[in-house]
Amino acid sequence: MQTTVLAAMLVMSMAGMAQDSAQSAQGSSAQGAAQGSVLVVSGHNGTVPVIHRNGRWYAEVEGLARVTGGSLGFQGSRIVLTLPTAAAAPPVQVAQAAPAPTGFSREFLRAGVEQMTVIREWRSAVENAVRTNNPVDESWVSYYRRMAQDRMGTATAVASTDADRRALPLLQNEMAMIGQLSDRFLDLRKTLTYVDPTTLDHDPLDQKITACAQGMAAMAVPGGPFEDVAACH
């Protein structure tokens, strides 16, 4: 069987064109134009010759298979045109979100160090005043209090990891404890109560302040995990 036979398996239902061509007074010129017509398959390169006969359009099956990249097969009196299947789209790669950091961030540690520096200087000022038998003065206590509150605000603002946020209460408690120690000596001054220079040697609150600072310093490692410090509570 010659494969160039004109197959009616691809019938282009162009009824409007066929009807106009059949009824037009210019039938002969329309038939002449049809002789040069070609079929263009959207999305494919190349053209397929077509002819117009008895009100219908016919395309060459070999040409159609060539343009579409298909293949022809013969099953008895049947001509089977197999079109290529569309290539499967590659699977969409779903970007997995990076796990949230849990250890201490460098920004928080920097702010925490600044806060603890203020508290250490504040405690040193209180200790020096007590040991030299000088009054703990409201003017410089207020200065350290404002500085500590400012540094605390910075640490709170930059806390970004779970470890950062869990360490915030320890910083706040340390600031509260040095405030309580200062307020005690301020109250003693108001009542003109004598303060023994060795008062801080065995003072439980002062010892907690020191132990809390040491505990927080021990875990202040970038990316390190949070470890609770009992002395800060």
Q: Which residue has the higher pLDDT, 108 or 11?
A: 108
Among 37-41, 97-101, 119-123, 210-214, the range scoring the smallest mean pLDDT is 97-101
C-alpha angle with apex 70: 65 to 75, nearest 5 degrees? 85
pLDDT score recorded for residue 87: 60
Axis crossing angle, helix 162-190 with helix 138-158, rounded to the nearest 10: 170
Question: For the range 74-80, what are the long-range contacts, defined as Cβ-Cβ under 8 Å and sequence gap of 24 or more?
Answer: 74/1, 79/1, 79/3, 79/5, 79/7, 79/9
Compare 61 and 2 and report the one with higher pLDDT: 61
pLDDT at residue number 18:
40
pLDDT range class, residue 73, cuts 50, 70, 90: confident
* Confidence label for 123 from pLDDT (cuts 50, 70 and 90): very high
pLDDT given for residue 148 in this prediction: 98
Are 180 and 141 a contacting pair, CB within 8 Å?
no
Tokens 């329309």 belong to residue: 30
Question: What is the pLDDT of the chain when averaged over all its residues?
Answer: 82
Strands (E), 62-205: 71-75, 78-82
Kindly state the helix (H) or strand (E) to which residue 126 belongs, with its residue range.
helix 106-131
- Residue appearing with tokens 């070609």: 38
* Residue in 160, 129, 159, 164 with CA at minimum distance from that of residue 144: 129
**Residue 33 identity (one-letter amino acid):** A
Locate tokens 């398959």: which residue?
41
Confirm if 206 and 179 have CB atoms less than 8 A apart: no
DSSP string of 36-81?
Answer: T-EE--TTS-S-EEEEEETTEEEEEHHHHHHHHT-EEEEETTEEEE
Nearest to 170 by CA among 225, 117, 226, 223: 226
pLDDT per residue as tens digits for the range 163-212 = 999 999 999 999 999 999 999 999 999 999 999 999 999 999 999 999 99
Domain boundaries, the chain: 6-21+29-82, 106-232
3 falls in which pLDDT band (50, 70, 90)? very low
Overall average pLDDT of the 65-70 stretch: 75
Nearest to 72 by CA among 168, 4, 19, 150: 4
Binned at pLDDT 50, 70 and 90, residue 34 comes out as low
According to the model, what pLDDT value does residue 13 have?
37
State percent of the chain over pLDDT 70: 79
**pLDDT at res. 21:** 42
pLDDT at 98: 66
Residue 153 or 53, more confident: 153
Amino acid code (one letter) for 66:
R
Tokens of 75: 């099953």
Q: At residue 231, does pLDDT exceed 90?
A: yes
